[in-house]
Chain A
Amino acid sequence: MMNCEQTNSFLEDYLDGYLDEAQRQELEAHLAACQECQTDLDNRNAVLKGLRALPVPRPSPGFEERVLSNARQGNRKHVGFSAGFGSAVAAGLMVWFVVGFWHPSDRPEHNALSVIVMQVEQPREVSLAFNVPHAIRDVTFRIELPEGIEIEGYPEQRELVWMDQLPKGRNVMNLNLVARQGVNGELLARIQHGDKEQVFHVPVRASMNGVGITPSFEQNTISI
């Protein structure tokens, strides 16, 4: 039978499951007869259990989609603006638009068939998908939010503007929206190229109880 010194040297391997069957049985025989070594084992075991139980807070909402999306885009920026933009297909609501060619005088405006229905203080991912028949360079994007709606990470900003390209085909803009109060308004997505502009309207409804929340995925196509 092992003595206390030998047992002590094997206790960790025993706890980690690294002992073979014969060693394990020998050690357990000693433990059964030695209260001191058994107490030692119990203490070590308690520490291990405590370590495994150390808490980890959940990551922020949309973390997985966001880091994957950012990786694809080469972004390193934490949360901030990118927090509002998750992966293309993970969003809760997707609204499709077709971007065409237009004349300045036309200034076409389009109303989405989808309605973004939200519950106050509950984030909702919404994707705006733009189908572009030809690549368009130097496009100015402008998102206008109704009062009470924010993009996560951009508190109290009602308007966001940036420049980008529109490659040919389908392009997805993901927005992580939060309603701060009851809302009955419209989200406007403006796409401007030179002196031409196209405006897309998406109705937004937010209430305290979120009654009438739409299904998790919707798709509408607007042709112009």
Chain B
Amino acid sequence: MESSKGGNGQPIILSGEMYRSVTELLSELLLKTKARVIIFGDMDGHAITQKGNTTGLNVNTLAALAAGHYAATAEMAKIVGETNRFKFIFHEGEEMNMYSCNVGNSFLLLIVFDISIALGMIRIFTNRTIQSLEKFLESQQQMDDKASEFLDIEFSTLLNKELDKTFNNL
């Protein structure tokens, strides 16, 4: 395994320290923007962490849809001759707006906010947060040995038993 920074066939592994740093940055962003909810996920559609009011909100599904949408938009950029991907995606609603943008090549940030909050403010604070996030994520250490620790033989044996139990008679 070559890297812990994602891409096809390569796992993304977020250490405890990284996770805490990301969560802190999201908390700060939430405080500054007064957004309803902020989700940090990866480009493969996994929700990693979120801040704000997630009551009644299916975060995992939202992250999966956002990643799919982001990937589709990147392809649209290519088709129309935009050499880089679009800088952000904005959805304007009657009550809520949504803003999403990439964090490096492997992650994305999704912000849901009330229409009374100015988009300009969201952009300014989000851009600052992204710069900090990218700095943290670039410094991520090699975690390959951690992956083998996570997925040992005992894990697969127990998973197999759990699958048998869950799928029993279905």
Real complex partners, A and B?
no
Interface set of A (CB-CB < 8 Å, partner B):
none
Interface set of B (CB-CB < 8 Å, partner A):
none
